[in-house]
Amino acid sequence: MQATLDLARESGYARLSMEAVAARAGVGKHTVYRRWPSKGLLFLDSLLSQNEPDLGYPDTGDVMADLRSQIHAAVDLLGGPPWGPLYRALLGEAQHDPTVAAGLNERFIRPQADRTVARLRTAREQGQLSSDFDLDLAMAVLSGPLYFQLLITQEPLTHDYVDRVLDALFAGMAPRP
């Protein structure tokens, strides 16, 4: 998996091959294919095997501050090299390979979304959010602009952008008098 990441960083995901990974790792390509039937699944496992910063949520009692802290950490991790380009490549591969899409969703996207909704639910129970706001919709509204920036416009993901998204979302989620 380290050989996969090293090669992807050096030459990009598009040029990555199972044969090159096997050669770099010093094993036969059949050894690699026996464990990973596709380059996309090997890449997914390789990326998700890294011990990167925890993207969990603190619970300081201030949901806005907690979201800001967590999303800033995610932006710092995924917004630039080395992980940003690799993560974008993985998302691109997921568009063409349903097994990669399912694995990415199951092992990274869904757990992160579940943590976000759980944090929002706690905030709603504490009266910080409107009692009738759809928390799954809040998750989609929150993540959509970030993925739009990361994948479509490819403009830098910044803390300021995150703060503007949070301010806009919280204007709609605030408790109503």
pLDDT digits (tens, 9 = 90+) for 70-96: 999 889 988 888 888 888 999 999 999
In a shared domain, residues 76 and 155: yes
Sequence-separated (6 or more) residues with CB below 8 Å from residue 37:
99
In a shared domain, residues 8 and 60: no
Residue numbers of the domain that contains 167: 52-173
Does the pTM of the predicted model rise above 0.85?
Answer: no
In a shared domain, residues 39 and 66: no
Give yes or no for a cis peptide into 177 (omega within 30° of 0). Answer: no
d(CA 39, CA 33): 9
In a shared domain, residues 21 and 40: yes
pLDDT score of 52: 59
d(CA 43, CA 46): 5
In a shared domain, residues 125 and 84: yes
**Please, is 141 exposed, middle or buried when counting C-beta atoms within 10 Å of its C-beta (0-12, 13-18, 19+)?**
middle
In a shared domain, residues 167 and 102: yes
Q: What is the CATH number of the domain that holds 74?
A: 1.10.357.10
Q: What is the CATH number of the domain that holds 12?
A: 1.10.10.60
In a shared domain, residues 71 and 8: no
Please count the structural domains in the chain: 2
Q: What percent of the chain shows pLDDT beyond 90? A: 65
pLDDT digits (tens, 9 = 90+) for 25-68: 999 999 999 999 999 999 999 988 876 556 778 889 999 999 99
In a shared domain, residues 29 and 110: no
In a shared domain, residues 85 and 116: yes
Give the pLDDT band (50/70/90) at residue 173: low
